[in-house]
Structures are given as C-alpha cells and as structure tokens.
Amino acid sequence: MRRLYFLILPTLLFVLWLVLNESVSTGQIALGLALALWFTWAASRLRPLRARPRRLWKVVPLILHVTLDIIKSNIAVARLILNPRPNVFSPGFIMIPLTMRDPHGLAMLACIVTYTPGTVWVDLTDDHSLKLHVLDLQNEDEWVKLVQERYERPLMEMFE
C-alpha cells in the first residue's frame, strides 16, 4: 500500500499542477514533477503514525448513517432556529465514555460529530470520555447510544 501511495499522490499533484497552470510546457512539467515529488516526500514525514484500516466494507454503511444523520440534524437545527418561540431548545454538555483508543478512529469520530449540525466535540478527557456539546439536549442516554453504537463501533471495527 505504501508503494501505491507514492505513485498516486505525486501523480495527482502533478496533474493538478498542470491543470491549474493551464500549460504543458517543458518548464511547467519539470516544475510540476519536482514539486509533486517533494510534496509527497514532505507529507510522508508529517505522518509518523500510519493508519492500518481493516474491514473497509464497514465504511459504506457508516457513510450512509452519517449522511442520513447530517440531513436529519440540518432539518432539526433549521426548525429550532426558525421557530419564533423563546426557550425552544435546551443546549447542554454530555460526557460519553469511549472504548476506542486508535488516534485515527478518534479523529474520524471527531470529524463525524463535528460535521453534524448541532453537535460539537469539546474535549477528550484523560479517562477517554468524550465531552460533547449538543444544541438541543433532550435525552442523554439516546446521545450516548448514538455515538457509541452508530459511530464508535464501526470505527473500532475498522481501526482496532
């Protein structure tokens, strides 16, 4: 996989360079190749810890769940904001215990939670509890179950 990475990234960077410059002159080709190879080398040095995802077929249902949750959350947040009544929603913080330890899985979980409107990843405590801010916190147990079963479990199956 590492060899494939060193073929795909420079090729994409090189093609992107040529497209953005709208030129295939000798100078642009030479500069594009040099920059693509250098950026690939530099990017590899920035990632000391390599991700080793497994069971990649689990990503398809996860993407579908996240997309559906983002759509539902957009609608719910729009209703809360557009509702003219005062005190319509009750924001709050919730602590969710996590069992996942892989930094790549935790980073994906942070992205998923933060991409969903109405929720923000606030902190990961020393005892691996996620502090989450929810715009409309009605049922804490429902949020704990959602994060642990719908997001954390598939990510753990992929990264741990």
β-pairing, 92-97 vs 129-134, is antiparallel
> Which range among 28-32, 48-52, 101-105 has the greatest average pLDDT?
28-32
pLDDT at 48: 67
Which DSSP category does 49 fall into?
Answer: S
Give the pLDDT confidence of 84-128 residue by residue, as tens digits.
677 767 888 999 999 998 888 898 999 999 988 889 999 998 888
User: What's the whole-model pTM score?
Assistant: 0.70
CA–CA gap between residue 148 and residue 138 (Å, rounded): 17
Taking a C-beta distance cutoff of 8 angstroms, is the pair 94, 138 a contact? no
